Structure 1
Amino acid sequence: MTTISKNLLVELFVEELPPKALKKLGDAFAGVLRDQLVALGLADAGAVLTSYASPRRLGAHLTNVVAQAADKAVSQKLMPVAVGLDAAGNATPALLKRLGALGADASAVATLKRAPDGKAEALFYESTAKGVTLAEGLQKALAEAIAKLPIPKVMSYQLENGELPGWTSVSFVRPAHGLVALHGGDVVPVEALGLKAGRETHGHRFEAKVDPVVLRDAGSYALQLEEEGAVIAGFEARRTEIARQLTLAAAKVGGGAKPIDDDALLDEVTALVERPNVLVCSFEREFLDVPQECLILTMKANQKYFPLLDAADKLTNQFLVVSNITPDDASAVIQGNERVVRPRLADAKFFFDQDRKKSLESRVASLDKVVYHNKLGTQGERALRVSRIAMEIGKKLRADTGDQALAIAAQRAAELAKTDLVTDMVGEFPELQGTMGRYYALNDGLPVDIADAIEDHYKPRFAGDTLPRGEVGVVVALADKLETLVGMFGIGNLPTGDRDPFALRRHALGVVRMLIEKDLPLDLKSLLKAAAATFGGIDGFDETRAVVDLETFILDRLAGSLREQGASAQEVDAVLAPQPQRLGTVPKLLAAVRAFAALPEAPALAAANKRIGNILKKSPEADAHVSAVLLQEPAEKALHAAMEQVVPAADAQFDAGDYTASLQTLAALRAPVDAFFDDVMVNAEQVDLRLNRLGLLKLLHAAMNRVALLERLAA
């Protein structure tokens, strides 16, 4: 049986949905509906899905949906032939009973199919299953879509209709008040959340031309809602309209004004309005004396406004409001929003003025009253550890000159880096930690590099974030992240598969990025040991975890990062297997391995290197020493001679940092290495000969693996 396909529309009309979850809810609702209908044969995989999500509705429009799925041929295994038929080929009671359960009788025995089933033959009953109707399938799909919604918090409420109004309760993200299900122009008789499907929905609370909006058919949904209900139902369509109006409003302001670029804010505002109307508002210029980060944050976080920046990215005293109403005279709406934002800005100005009355230095003692971690002490104790680590890093970076200026500046910045945590502004807006510290440091007359370091020591805050802008900032940021990592690993507070409350993975990647991108001449293990030394006296602190386990953790994060950047697992494994301590050299080492892997000699040398490694593992007595007198076979003499020429040149190139050239020079050893394994018995019976040959291989293995563990490149 074939049925004509039509468009399908489903809408749940609800009370205001949580804005930050709206887009995800809309996509999930529509996606599960589509998947279920495709699985039931009511829609094809190529059907076009349109999801709708506004503050008061979740909807889905799907093309090419049939009223009934096609019938399906079904083959059901019954039982082994030996069980279902007796010696004469007649049906056994067991077979007749099974057929009866399927609605068939003895006449069906002749139609049963025999087919292999493992080692034996089995009987199969073939029938035709009637295709599911749209009403049946949509009921199931709707229940599944509601059950699988990623609801942040479920609420229970009583139904107002039904046999016992007020006594029956259901659970959903928000109370639902309407259900629409249209197949073309026909209502599909389904139910959900105590509601029966119809064709009526509701538009804008105040500006709809008619209420209810009676939908003609599935295809007219979006147009009717916009024209009659004053609602843009589609999330993306509404978002695009808001972005268009923001740009247009900014252009009318002139002077190169532009709304702040914030996708998260745009998404949230899109989830708050059904009929967007962007208006230009302003505030008193005197508030611009407050750092613009404070004003921008309070306007975005508290009021969902879009601050306007000038051509130089400086905050202006104008901002954009996305209103949900479009009155003929918008002055009352504009004045209302200006009146609402003024106390917020006044609070920010008050906090800023009050905070500047005390220096950051005077706030250091207050950190001793702020708990950092119950096992690791207060923020004051933490700041002391960070400052000691920073001073040690500063000394290491100037070890060749003995200059103490960097170490002293880094120590000073680290001592003050957390003091803005006890200011009023950061107490109100924790997102401004570091940012406000810089402003207050400059207000105290501290050097710019120290002020910058106070702000930048949190960097990189996220993937792709910039690194600290100055050397002092890099040192303090490195010290801060190492203190967190070493401390948490030391007390066994490690990240798990789904939990990382102290962002240790992000901190590890931050350490990796600074060491590599700044090419710092610092050894990873020595850094970890220096940091661990500052935790003396803390109960339960395990230095092995804090150094050995943490080193592995950091190198694992580096390996993952390199693979994400396109390096192969073999190349990354070869470079990191020797646990390089100067992470700044890793990009060069990786480039050298890639170039080596492209050489024709690479596969044979990698295989030989693996063979040598296996031989040496079984011969721990081998010493990296060769006596020319004990070299007997021409092949071992040739290898030794080649090594005496090639290895010093390769070592010199390695020491000069030219790792690519070093590996390419070593490639010349392929022929003598192949000949050695073809013609020389390594494990000779004569002890001195055997040890001499093992010593030759040990020297060769050490020379070949300075850049990377080449055996990891072997297939």
Structure 2
Amino acid sequence: MPDLLIELFSEEIPARMQARAAEDLKKRVTDGLVEAGLTYSGAAALSTPRRLTLAVDGLLAESPTIREERKGPKVGAPDKAIEGFLRGAGLTRDQLEERETPKGAVYFALIEKPGRPAAEIIAEVLETTIRTFPWPKSMRWGAGSLRWVRPLHSILCILSDEAGATVVDLDIDGIKSGNTTRGHRFMAPDQITVTGFDDYAAKLKRAHVVLDPRERAEAIWQEATNQAFASGLEVVEDKGLLAEVAGLVECPVVLMGAIDAEFLELPAEVLQTSMKEHQKFFSVKNPKTGRIEKFITVANRETADNGATILAGNQKVLSARLADAKFFWENDLRTAKSEAGMSAWVENLGNVTFHNKLGTQAARIDRIAALAREIAPVVGADAGLAEQAARVAKADLSSEMVYEFPELQGLMGRYYAQAAGLPQEVANACEQHYSPLGPGDDVPSEPVSVAVALADKLDTLTGFWAIDEKPTGSKDPFALRRAALGVIRLVLENDVRISLERFSDLGLLRQEKNCESGGIGDQEITGLQDLLEEIAEHGVYGATIREVRAYFDQTRGEEESQVLLLKKAAASVPDTSIDLLSFFHDRLKVFLRDQGIRHDVIDACIAMDGNDDLTLLVKRARALEDFMKTEDGTNLLQGFKRANNILSQAEEKDGVEYSYGADRKFAEDDTEKALFDALEAGGGRSLRPSRPKISRLPCGHGRPARADRCVL
């Protein structure tokens, strides 16, 4: 059984595309081979900046002969039907066979497809793969129609076995397949003839090409850590940067350089970000001081001076980059320490639009500050500090450093808040209020940070719900699912008992008042602002605002603007609030299912009162999950099913619905009376639901449940 080796040799492929491209090549070629009848024992894909390589072991020498029996139309069927069947089978009428069936005589076709040589199939599959390859971006060059990520120079495609290697004949836009490749661009640019994968890998190694990206990454990290350790330093780990750098070089040569002393006082994160983003350098820090003092760069070739010239050029470019960062840092510090402090940056945010329907960043900060003050007592934070932190948390968006490096937002806010002399809790909230950004991100635990983080995410959610910009399918351009999951993690991991309905309604009212399009403008009616502010200050529950709406629905003949505008607000908020709470529940279901809690248990707890208190809801779900695993839980479920089935049969027989529950006056013996006594002691009101669902089980441990659920 021969082995297949394919190499697509081109100009440098962007590092971020290499891993995906190698997997795409493997999948498309192997899928095509299997579909054509060529099975194999194993396949591996590798990549370097200049080549994609696929090795397939144990390939069949030719596809097997396929015999297929196909049933056709009845004998005597119209000629057009028979001719269509013949075209599909690729046969003539005299090749058909007549057979008797229970439904009469029927034509059958015996189709035999002879096997094909592997080389013929490989050529077809590879050409299709190359011409339809799913690059994120591709280009054409010369006069041909072929598109590739960068100009494609050569195609290596050989089948090898004990007898030797055979080139698979292929010609794509003038690029003919062969058995040659090239080594390192500078150190071994001549052609290399290969006879199989082992020979190919060994000759590339001698030609200064490390074929396996994982081997390149391991070599880079090993040499980098060794050089840093020799100087008493350590490399700042960055797996993403390591993978990227490994995709930039075929022959990694690790060099360590020093940072000029004038830049050493810059924050470590500024140095690290500047070097990573602009130069693809690893940061090397002093473990005793935490300062970034040196850098690691990876060259793509060995030199006679051991990289001294390369290192000198890199240090020169780095100094220019860090000079810019130092300029931004010093300017920002002067602003933060000035009399106006960070408030000057907040004022500038009045000219920055957050969303064309949700106003400016400054207006958003006002809403977040008001909401943070409301949330603070619930999470054990000082209301004044929470409001202060919310007002400066996004101030660094106007700073020069964050303008240059947006990924430093929040972090620079902490530095600037400390420079401005603000309390440490406020400075920490500036950095932490964006968290958690993802499932693996840390969750803030300081009360002030928790209050601001919740206010920030709730304002985002209520804002986009107010303008009906919700996630649809896989599309979530404003990362609202991530914001909802952030709220869930903040609440659960800090064991916060908070009414999401209350604060969602409060946020929705503020959004209604501040929306620039279709909302209630304060400029229209001055008195309305005071009224809405009064409502928002005390928080509005969905039930309360529905009462307001009902009241105005009963009002006849009122034409005053205040009444009409408030009626508009009251009409929109409740449904939106309920929909937003359902969105939270959907995200919570996913979160809890990942932790192994059954979906019917989650649904049962969501159906209970107080389901906007996520901490209580999750505690109920975990308690119910644990209870259902016990013998008592199993017996309860079986008893409920049995009682439900008996009553359902009685309803069907009697033609009535027994939704009112059992009555004590019908108890005939002591056991039935004891059952009623037990139900009353447990707070139950009904023996069965009006619309029974097995998933709706009690989990309140004796507290009364809603009337549409069974309570025992």
TM-score, structure 1 as length reference = 0.81
Q: 1:638 aligns with which of 654, 669, 674?
A: 674
1:602 maps onto 2:650 in alignment? no
Alpha-carbon shift at residue 283 of structure 1 (Å):
0.8
Decide whether aligned partners of structure 1 residues 622 and 155 sit closer, same or farther in structure 2, where only a CA change above 3 A counts: same
What CA distance in whole angstroms lies between the structure 2 residues aligned with 1:297 and 1:241?
23
1:414 maps onto 2:393 in alignment? no
Alpha-carbon shift at residue 332 of structure 1 (Å):
0.7
Task: Write the letter of the residue equivalent to 2:674.
Answer: A
Alpha-carbon shift at residue 328 of structure 1 (Å):
2.7
Q: 2:3 aligns with which of 2, 7, 14?
A: 7
**1:281 aligned counterpart, secondary structure:** strand
**1:62 aligned counterpart, secondary structure:** strand
What CA distance in whole angstroms lies between the structure 2 residues aligned with 1:300 and 1:80?
73
Q: 2:260 aligns with which of 262, 284, 288?
A: 284
Decide whether aligned partners of structure 1 residues 622 and 602 sit closer, same or farther in structure 2, where only a CA change above 3 A counts: closer
Checking the alignment, whether the CA contact within 8 Å between 1:15 and 1:56 is kept in structure 2 is yes
Task: Write the letter of the residue equivalent to 1:200.
Answer: T
Q: How far does the alpha carbon of each residue in 1:85-104 deviate from its partner, in whole angstroms, 9 at most, with x for none? A: xxxxxxx9986996698676
Decide whether aligned partners of structure 1 residues 189 and 116 sit closer, same or farther in structure 2, where only a CA change above 3 A counts: farther
1:591 maps onto 2:583 in alignment? no
Q: 1:176 aligns with which of 133, 148, 152?
A: 152
Checking the alignment, whether the CA contact within 8 Å between 1:138 and 1:190 is kept in structure 2 is no
Decide whether aligned partners of structure 1 residues 139 and 709 sit closer, same or farther in structure 2, where only a CA change above 3 A counts: farther
Aligned to 1:72: 66
Decide whether aligned partners of structure 1 residues 609 and 348 sit closer, same or farther in structure 2, where only a CA change above 3 A counts: farther
Aligned pairs for 1:562-581 within 5 A: 562-578=592-608, 580-581=611-612
Q: 1:24 aligns with which of 20, 27, 51?
A: 20
Q: 1:461 aligns with which of 411, 430, 437?
A: 437
Aligned to 1:198: 178
Decide whether aligned partners of structure 1 residues 342 and 611 sit closer, same or farther in structure 2, where only a CA change above 3 A counts: farther
Decide whether aligned partners of structure 1 residues 409 and 621 sit closer, same or farther in structure 2, where only a CA change above 3 A counts: farther
Aligned to 2:217: 239
Alpha-carbon shift at residue 144 of structure 1 (Å):
3.6
Aligned to 2:358: 376
Alpha-carbon shift at residue 487 of structure 1 (Å):
0.3
Aligned to 2:566: none
Aligned to 1:527: 503
Aligned pairs for 1:269-280 within 5 A: 269-280=245-256
**2:618 aligned counterpart, secondary structure:** helix
1:51 maps onto 2:45 in alignment? yes
**1:251 aligned counterpart, secondary structure:** helix
> Tell me, which stretches of 5 or more residues in structure 2 are unaligned?
336-340, 520-571, 691-697
1:264 maps onto 2:237 in alignment? no
Q: How far does the alpha carbon of each residue in 1:204-247 deviate from its partner, in whole angstroms, 9 at most, with x for none? A: 11011x511222334311111121x3211222232232232223
Q: How far does the alpha carbon of each residue in 1:522-561 deviate from its partner, in whole angstroms, 9 at most, with x for none? A: 1111121122232242243542454111100011000111
Task: Write the letter of the residue equivalent to 1:36.
Answer: G
Task: Write the letter of the residue equivalent to 1:360.
Answer: M
**1:60 aligned counterpart, secondary structure:** strand
Q: 2:191 aligns with which of 212, 215, 240?
A: 212
Decide whether aligned partners of structure 1 residues 387 and 322 sit closer, same or farther in structure 2, where only a CA change above 3 A counts: same
**2:382 aligned counterpart, secondary structure:** helix
Checking the alignment, whether the CA contact within 8 Å between 1:388 and 1:534 is kept in structure 2 is no
Task: Write the letter of the residue equivalent to 2:345.
Answer: R
1:333 maps onto 2:310 in alignment? yes
What CA distance in whole angstroms lies between the structure 2 residues aligned with 1:281 and 1:36?
49
Aligned to 1:41: 37
Decide whether aligned partners of structure 1 residues 370 and 152 sit closer, same or farther in structure 2, where only a CA change above 3 A counts: same
Aligned to 1:136: 120
What CA distance in whole angstroms lies between the structure 2 residues aligned with 1:144 and 1:169?
14
Alpha-carbon shift at residue 382 of structure 1 (Å):
0.3
What CA distance in whole angstroms lies between the structure 2 residues aligned with 1:379 and 1:499?
24
Checking the alignment, whether the CA contact within 8 Å between 1:519 and 1:585 is kept in structure 2 is no
Q: How far does the alpha carbon of each residue in 1:66-109 deviate from its partner, in whole angstroms, 9 at most, with x for none? A: 3321222222333234549xxxxxxx998699669867667645
**2:147 aligned counterpart, secondary structure:** strand
Checking the alignment, whether the CA contact within 8 Å between 1:79 and 1:122 is kept in structure 2 is yes
**Stretch deviating more after TM superposition (582-591 or 323-332):** 582-591
Root-mean-square deviation (CA, aligned residues, Å) is: 3.6
What CA distance in whole angstroms lies between the structure 2 residues aligned with 1:211 and 1:125?
57
Decide whether aligned partners of structure 1 residues 443 and 707 sit closer, same or farther in structure 2, where only a CA change above 3 A counts: farther
What CA distance in whole angstroms lies between the structure 1 residues aligned with 2:87 and 2:637?
67
Aligned to 2:135: 151
Checking the alignment, whether the CA contact within 8 Å between 1:609 and 1:701 is kept in structure 2 is no
Q: 2:368 aligns with which of 383, 386, 407?
A: 386
Aligned to 1:353: 330
Task: Write the letter of the residue equivalent to 1:369.
Answer: N
> Tell me, which stretches of 5 or more residues in structure 1 are unaligned?
85-91, 159-165, 399-404, 649-665, 684-699
Aligned to 1:296: 272
What CA distance in whole angstroms lies between the structure 1 residues aligned with 2:14 and 2:284?
27
Aligned to 1:478: 454
Task: Write the letter of the residue equivalent to 1:28.
Answer: D
Decide whether aligned partners of structure 1 residues 458 and 610 sit closer, same or farther in structure 2, where only a CA change above 3 A counts: farther
What CA distance in whole angstroms lies between the structure 2 residues aligned with 1:97 and 1:150?
36
**1:157 aligned counterpart, secondary structure:** coil
**2:436 aligned counterpart, secondary structure:** coil
Aligned pairs for 1:430-445 within 5 A: 430-445=406-421
What CA distance in whole angstroms lies between the structure 2 residues aligned with 1:505 and 1:473?
21
Q: 2:229 aligns with which of 242, 245, 251?
A: 251
TM-score, structure 2 as length reference = 0.82
Alpha-carbon shift at residue 307 of structure 1 (Å):
0.6
**1:445 aligned counterpart, secondary structure:** coil
Alpha-carbon shift at residue 596 of structure 1 (Å):
2.2
Q: How far does the alpha carbon of each residue in 1:271-326 deviate from its partner, in whole angstroms, 9 at most, with x for none? A: 11111111111112331211111110111111111111333682431111111011
Alpha-carbon shift at residue 132 of structure 1 (Å):
2.2
Checking the alignment, whether the CA contact within 8 Å between 1:30 and 1:51 is kept in structure 2 is yes
**1:601 aligned counterpart, secondary structure:** helix
What CA distance in whole angstroms lies between the structure 2 residues aligned with 1:705 and 1:115?
73
Task: Write the letter of the residue equivalent to 2:26.
Answer: A
What CA distance in whole angstroms lies between the structure 1 residues aligned with 2:263 and 2:575?
50
**Stretch deviating more after TM superposition (146-155 or 430-439):** 146-155
Q: How far does the alpha carbon of each residue in 1:105-138 deviate from its partner, in whole angstroms, 9 at most, with x for none? A: 67645xx374869x67643222431112223211
Alpha-carbon shift at residue 22 of structure 1 (Å):
1.2
Task: Write the letter of the residue equivalent to 2:166.
Answer: D
Alpha-carbon shift at residue 562 of structure 1 (Å):
0.5
Decide whether aligned partners of structure 1 residues 130 and 589 sit closer, same or farther in structure 2, where only a CA change above 3 A counts: same
What CA distance in whole angstroms lies between the structure 2 residues aligned with 1:21 and 1:201?
21
Task: Write the letter of the residue equivalent to 1:514.
Answer: L
Count of aligned pairs: 636
Task: Write the letter of the residue equivalent to 1:231.
Answer: V
What CA distance in whole angstroms lies between the structure 1 residues aligned with 2:85 and 2:508?
72
What CA distance in whole angstroms lies between the structure 1 residues aligned with 2:104 and 2:594?
50
What CA distance in whole angstroms lies between the structure 2 residues aligned with 1:62 and 1:533?
63
Aligned to 2:480: 504
What CA distance in whole angstroms lies between the structure 2 residues aligned with 1:553 and 1:362?
37
